[in-house]
Amino acid sequence: MPNRSFDTMMNPPIENLLDKVDSKFSLVTLAARRARQI
């Protein structure tokens, strides 16, 4: 299967966000909290 590059609307990239939190779980928790605020 060839490697494919897809453009996404994710900005900032997840990799950059993971540098700011301890784990993916923390990132998901913060995103869920923000989604509830919106």
pLDDT above 70: residue 1: no
pLDDT for position 37? 95
Identify the pLDDT of residue 33.
95
8 Å CB contact between 20 and 29: no
Average pLDDT for 2-28: 82
Query: Whose CA is closest to 12, among 3, 21, 4, 25?
Result: 21
Residue 25 has pLDDT above 90, yes or no: yes
Mean pLDDT of the chain: 84
Q: What is the pLDDT of residue 11?
A: 82
Residues of the chain with pLDDT > 70, as a percent, come to 76
Q: Which residues of 1-38 are buried (b: 16+ CB within 10 A; e: fewer)?
A: eeeeeeeeeeeeeeeeeeeeeeeeeeeeeeeeeeeeee
